[in-house]
DNA sequence: TACTGATTTTAACATTTGTAAAAGCGCGGG
DNA sequence: CCCGCGCTTTTACAAATGTTAAAATCAGTA
C-alpha cells in the first residue's frame, strides 16, 4: 500500500496545506475490480491513475495480438499519455489486472489545480519527468540487453511479477513471443 | 531558423518580460561545428540544447555499433535525459551532424530560473511533456509499424533527412541494419 | 480424485533479419 | 582525367525468432 500523498511528499515536500487539500479534493479514491478496462483504444483518456494498491497495465494490439507496453505497480502511475496530454483518442488500452485501490485524477481538474495553486506546477513537472525517465528506461531495456537479459531485469525490477502476471504479458513486454520466452526460461 | 524564443512563446505566451529576459541570460547562443561531440557516454549531461539551426542526434553503442536514438532538427531539443534529470552519467552520446546554431541551457541555471521565476515551471513542464510525447511517438513507430513503414514515416516526418543524414543512421533509428534498409529501399 | 479450462511448454517448420565481405557508385583532390 | 575514399548496395550464408499446432502442466472445483 503506497498512498498518493506519500508519493507527492517525496516529489514536493514543500507543498502548502491548501494545495494538498485541493489535491485531496480532485484525486478521487476508487476501488477497481480485477480485469476492469479503464480505457479502450479510440477513446480519449482524460485521467491518470495512481496505483495505491494492486496492479494495472497499458497495452495495445499489433496484428491482433496484445502487447503490454507498461505495468503500473503500487506507487506508480498509469495513463495513456498519447491521449492524456493531447486530447486525441488513444491507441492504448488500460486494464486493471488485480483488484486495486487507485486515485483517479482528471485532466480538467489538474488544469484547475495548476491555475489556482501555481506551486503544483512543480509537482506536475516532476511527475512527468519521473515517467519520462521510466519510458527511457524501457527504451534502454531494449537498447542494451538481449531478450534473456530483459527477462532477468524485469524479474529484478518487479520481483512479484511472476506470481501476478501471466507469461504472455511478460513476453510481449520484453518484446518476444511467448514461445520465445518459454525457450529462454528453459535454458536454466 | 527557429528561434528559441518563438518556441517558448508557443508553449507559454503569457511569460513575463522579466522571465524572458532571465531566460535570455542563461540560454547561451553557440555555433557548433559539424561532427562535434557534445557528450560522450559516461559523462554527466548538464545541458540541454535547443537547435535553432542545423541538426544533431543522440546515439549509443550496441555491440560496438552506433545506434541513433533521437534526431534533433531545427526547433527541437536534444539532451541525454537519463543524465540530465538524474545527475548520473549518461549512456548516450550527443553529436552535432551539421554546423549548427544552438541554445545551451544548463541544469543549474534552470533550477535557478525555476526558483526565481516560478512561472517558468510551467514552461519546463510543457517542454518535458512535448519531449515525452516525442519519445512515445517513437515507441509507437515500432509498436504499430513494420520496418518499411517506419522508413516511410521517418521520411515524411523529416523530409530533408535523406539529404542530411547517412543511411546507416536512419537504419539504426528505425531499428534495422543498413543491409536491411537497403533491401527495403530496393523494393521500389 | 478426476475433470475442466487456462496457462505454459514443446515441436517442426518457415521466414526474417543479421553478418561478413565484396562490388558498385559518386565525388573531390591530386 | 583518374584515383581513392566514403557511402551504399548486393550476395551468400548463418542464426535467431516467429508461426502454428499439439502436448503437458497446473489450479480450482465438483
Using a CB-CB cut-off of 8 Å, the residues of chain B touching A133 are: 81-82, 85-86
Alpha helices in B13-119 (DSSP H): 17-26, 81-84, 107-116
Transcribe A92-160 into DSSP letters. Answer: -EEEEEEEEEEEEEEHHHHHHHHHH-TTHHHHHHHHHHHHHHHHHHHHHHHHH--HHHHHHHHHHHSTT
Q: Are B78 and B131 in contact (CB under 8 A)?
A: no
Numbered residues of chain A with Cβ closer than 8 Å to any chain B Cβ: 60, 62, 67, 69, 81-82, 85-86, 91, 114, 118-119, 121-122, 124-125, 128-129, 131-133, 135-140, 143-144
Stretch B157-164: mean pLDDT: 93
Helix (H/G/I), strand (E/B), else coil: B40: coil
Q: Which residues of A touch B136 (CB under 8 A)?
A: 81-82, 135
pLDDT band at A63 (very low <50, low <70, confident <90, very high): confident
The chain B residue lying nearest A91, using CA atoms, is B140
pLDDT at position B187, please? 77
The CATH code belonging to domain B4-135 is: 2.60.120.10
Q: What mean pLDDT is predicted for residues A98-108?
A: 96
Cell 561532427 found at: B35
pLDDT digits (tens, 9 = 90+) for A129-176: 999 999 999 999 999 999 999 999 999 999 999 999 999 999 999 999
pTM of the model: 0.95
- The whole-chain average pLDDT of chain B stands at 95
Q: How confident is the model at residue B63 (pLDDT cuts 50, 70, 90)?
A: confident
Taking only the tens place, the pLDDT of each residue in B24-54 is 999 999 999 999 999 999 999 999 999 999 9
CB contact under 8 A, A140 and B91: yes
Amino acid at each position: 500500500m503506497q498512498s498518493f500523498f506519500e508519493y507527492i511528499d517525496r516529489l514536493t515536500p514543500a507543498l502548502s496545506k491548501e494545495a494538498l487539500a485541493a489535491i485531496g479534493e480532485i484525486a478521487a479514491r476508487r476501488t477497481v475490480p480485477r480485469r476492469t478496462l479503464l480505457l479502450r483504444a479510440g477513446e480519449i483518456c482524460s485521467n491518470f491513475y495512481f496505483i495505491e494498491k494492486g496492479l494495472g497495465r497499458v497495452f495495445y494490439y499489433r496484428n491482433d495480438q496484445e502487447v503490454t507496453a507498461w505495468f503500473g505497480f503500487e506507487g506508480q502511475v498509469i495513463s495513456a499519455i498519447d491521449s492524456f496530454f493531447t486530447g486525441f483518442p488513444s491507441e492504448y488500452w488500460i486494464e486493471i489486472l488485480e483488484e486495486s485501490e487507485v486515485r483517479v485524477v482528471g485532466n480538467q481538474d489538474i488544469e484547475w489545480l495548476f491555475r489556482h495553486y501555481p506551486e503544483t506546477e512543480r509537482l506536475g513537472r516532476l511527475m512527468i519527468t519521473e515517467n519520462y525517465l521510466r519510458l527511457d528506461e524501457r527504451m534502454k531495456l531494449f537498447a542494451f540487453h538481449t531478450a534473456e537479459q530483459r527477462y532477468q531485469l524485469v524479474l529484478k525490477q518487479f520481483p512479484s511479477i511472476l506470481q501476478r502476471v501471466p507469461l504472455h504479458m511478460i513476453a510481449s513486454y520484453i518484446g518476444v513471443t511467448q514461445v520465445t520466452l518459454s525457450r529462454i526460461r528453459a535454458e536454466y
